[in-house]
Amino acid sequence: MILQGDLEVFSLKSLKPMILKPLKEPLSAGGYGAFPSAALDFPDDSIDFLKLLVKDPVTTFPGRISGDSLKNIGVLDGDWCLIQKGIEAKPNDLVAATIDDQFFIKRFKPKYSDRNQLQTLKLKSANPDFSDFDITDETEFYLWGVITWTFRNWKKL
């Protein structure tokens, strides 16, 4: 299924396990260190990536992101995401929403009163070149799902 706006949404075609063997050693992202043991090239544990990424296959949909409105938080044009429907959006979550019949992915920014009642709702961009959406009673708005994962292809094979 392809929708207008910032997001293309697809359905999961297969629920077969995707088993990969992880490294046992954490991957350091800072500074130089000693080389890990060569024995770590042969881990004996495994991870089912589909099970790790998808908690409910019926309500989870992959999507491809279009545009750079979230580039300042590392979500770029062409990235992929997983969207789960039916879970509650929390402040600062990334959400997929329709606004005036167009699909968007934005940061969820509600503001609550002292009595925990919603006062205002903003769907925020993370790029000053893009506008935020102030959701009002007049806005045609539907919160479609919560983004649970984003992915980027670093090396085209």
What contacts 88, CB < 8 A, 6 or more positions away?
Answer: 146
Q: How far is 92 from 151, CA to CA, in rounded Å?
A: 18
Could you write out the DSSP letters of every residue in 54-80?
-S-TTTEEEEEE-SSTTGGGT--TT-E
pLDDT class of 21 with cuts at 50, 70, 90: low
CATH number assigned to the domain covering 7-15+57-151: 2.10.109.10
Report pLDDT for 8.
76
Each residue of 24-44: pLDDT tens digit? 666 556 656 555 555 555 555
Q: Which residues are catalytic?
A: 69, 106
Q: How far is 27 from 19, CA to CA, in rounded Å?
A: 20
Contact 125, 106 (CB under 8 A): yes
Contact 23, 40 (CB under 8 A): yes
Each residue of 126-143: pLDDT tens digit? 999 999 999 998 999 999
Identity at 87, one-letter amino acid code: I
Strands (E), the chain: 7-9, 19-20, 47-48, 60-65, 80-84, 94-99, 102-112, 118-124, 133-135, 141-151
Each residue of 50-75: pLDDT tens digit? 888 888 888 998 988 999 999 999 99
Contact 143, 118 (CB under 8 A): no
| Residue 41, SS3 per DSSP | helix
Report pLDDT for 109.
96
19 has pLDDT over 90: no
Strands 47-48 and 60-65: unpaired
